[in-house]
Amino acid sequence: MITEELIQLVTPEGERVSHPQYESTLNGEEIFGLYRDMAIVRRLDNEATSLQRQGQLALWAQIQGQEAAQIGAGRAMQPNDFSFPTYREHGIAWCRGVPPEDMLRMFRATSNGGWDAQKYRHSVPTVVLGNQVLHAVGYGMGIQRDGAEDAVITFFGDGASSQGDVLEAFVWASSYNVPIVFFLQNNQWGISTPMSIQSKIPLYHRAGGFGFPGVRVDGNDVLAVYEVTQRALSLARVGGGPTLIEAHTYRLGAHTTSDDPTRYRIDAEVEVWKHKDPIERVKALLAREYSVKNSQFDEVEAEADEKALKLREDVLAMDRPDPITMFDNAYAEFHPLIEEGRHEMIELGVSGGQR
């Protein structure tokens, strides 16, 4: 008998529902803060999409529809926690303080990373599905050896959940009781592959078979995601071990700007999910319960537009690096082939030679 638990604190209509184990600990101001985060991130996401359409980015991976999952999880983190993302965690990056323009460097193809991962305690994007999940477990093993009370959280999708690396990470996290939260954003699709091909049952059930708890949360309900993640992180910090969180959400956009979802998915499905939009939901809640006025929402919109404009300017200002920088950081210490390469490139005159 397979259960389909779904932790929800706010309905798609913005009405509160009570849950036996979880209740929201956030006040109106904090909830408005989450709304602001989501609104800004969506605006930046749309700006990036149009930058790509205008040929300013090589590619863009949208998060539209997944803002609540990411902002809820990102805001549940403590400053000292560390996160390991995929290529789509712009909402988490935002919560970690990564400058928006840095999030776009990889998509502008001027860097393979983009930000100082140690400074923001948010790792560089991982494109090879599942790899980062093992890194997170190892990082958590380091936390244990430091005797620190930090936790690590890692993000991956429904598709990546089929990768051996992710499943081995479950084995290790359980075996060493690692202070980690596995945050699975089930957006129902892995490019054109529906969730049903990855698993016949909800993915949070996987955890139980590895000996740690799995929970399923309404990924479009930012209040629920916040509470569930918050509790899992606290549990990890005090030696409670790993938790798998499956955030039930939806990829409203295409997989990336190079994808064409009309080939494999019906509009009706998208329509259904549009009614569960994470931002509209919290907006309705704020209006109803905290009588937030339209003007306040408008102010956020305006702020978001400003940030989008700045992002655009910053991206347009990102020039092609000097080719010779390809040799930088290939190795940490002297390497003869690196010196030879630099020399050849200078000889060829394709580089200014400066470093």
Ligand X SMILES: Cc1ncc(C[n+]2csc(CCOP(=O)(O)OP(=O)(O)O)c2C)c(N)n1
- Check binding of 102 to its own copies (CB under 8 A): no
Ranges within 139-178 binding its own copies (CB under 8 A): 162-165, 167-168, 171, 174-175
Q: In angstroms, rounded to a whole number, what is the distance separating the alpha carbons of residues 14 and 278?
A: 10
Q: Residue 345 binds which entry of its own copies, ligand X, another protein, none, with Cβ cut-offs from 5 to 8 Å by kind?
A: another protein
Closer to Mg ion at the Cβ: 125 or 157? 157
Footprint on this chain of ligand X (rule: CB under 6 A): 88, 127-129, 157-160, 187, 189-191, 251, 255
Site string for Mg ion, 188-207 (x = CB under 5 A): --x-----------------
As a residue count, the chain comes to 355
- Measure the CA angle with vertex 90, ends 112 and 23; round to 5°: 145
Q: Which of 111, 198, 234, 325 binds its own copies (CB under 8 A)?
A: 198
70 or 351: CB nearest Mg ion = 70
Footprint of another protein on 272-331 (CB under 8 A): 320-321, 323, 325-331
User: Interface with another protein includes 350 (CB under 8 A)?
Assistant: yes
- Angle at the Cα of 246 from the Cα atoms of 119 and 96, rounded to 5 degrees: 15
Mapping DSSP onto H, E and C, the string for 78-104 reads CCCCEEECCCCCHHHHHHHCCCHHHHH
User: Per-residue x/- mask for Mg ion, residues 79 to 118, rule CB under 5 A?
Assistant: ----------------------------------------
Question: Does the annotation mark 312 as catalytic?
Answer: no
Catalytic residue among 75, 206, 251, 312: 251
How far is the C-alpha of 22 from the C-alpha of 205, rounded, in Å?
Answer: 19
The reply to whether 264 belongs to the active site is: yes
End-to-end CA distance of the chain: 62
SS3 113: coil
The H-or-E segment that residue 337 falls in is helix 336-348
Go through 46-83 and write b for each residue having 16 or more CB atoms within 10 A of its CB, e for each that does not: bbbbebbeeebbeebbbbbbbbbbbbbbbbbbeeebbb
Report d(CA 1, CA 181) in Å as an integer.
26
Contact of residue 321 among its own copies, ligand X, Mg ion, none (CB under 5-8 Å per partner type): none
Residues lying near its own copies in the complex (CB under 8 A) are found at 2, 162-165, 167-168, 171, 174-175, 197-201, 205-211, 214
